[in-house]
């Protein structure tokens, strides 16, 4: 079994770099999450934090997934992602 946090569906990719922006699905103030069979997972996703001209100094590799509210899905990370997520 695996714990999975759910993110918004893809919409139109960013016109500058072609990546899809996603954010956590929140219901009643809580992140939507599920425990699912590992056999239901086809691959992991490489998330790039979305921020303005400068990344917040308080973000670290340990807390950025909790601190950042939206991300870009890196479809260029490998061939499988490029073909599957485009």
Q: Nearest 5°: CA angle at 13, between 7 and 17?
A: 115
DSSP 3-state of 65: helix
For residues 22 and 73, the answer to whether their CB atoms sit within 8 Å is: yes
Non-local CB neighbours of 74 within 8 Å, separated by 6+ positions: 19, 45, 46, 47, 48, 81
pLDDT at 67: 92
For residues 60 and 49, the answer to whether their CB atoms sit within 8 Å is: no
Tell me how far apart the alpha carbons of residues 71 and 23 are, in angstroms, rounded to a whole number: 6
Tell me how far apart the alpha carbons of residues 26 and 5 are, in angstroms, rounded to a whole number: 10
pLDDT 10s digits, 43-81: 889 999 999 899 999 999 999 999 999 999 999 999 988
pLDDT 10s digits, 29-38: 999 999 999 9
Non-local CB neighbours of 64 within 8 Å, separated by 6+ positions: 49
């Amino acid at each position: 079994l695996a714990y999975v946090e759910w993110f918004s569906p893809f919409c139109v990719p960013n016109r500058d770099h072609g990546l899809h922006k996603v954010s956590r699905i929140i219901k009643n103030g809580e992140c939507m999450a599920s425990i699912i069979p590992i056999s239901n997972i086809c691959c992991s996703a490489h998330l790039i934090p979305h921020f303005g001209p400068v990344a917040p100094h308080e973000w670290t590799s340990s807390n950025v997934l909790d601190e950042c509210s939206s991300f870009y899905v890196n479809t260029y990370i490998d061939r499988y992602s490029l073909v599957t997520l485009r």
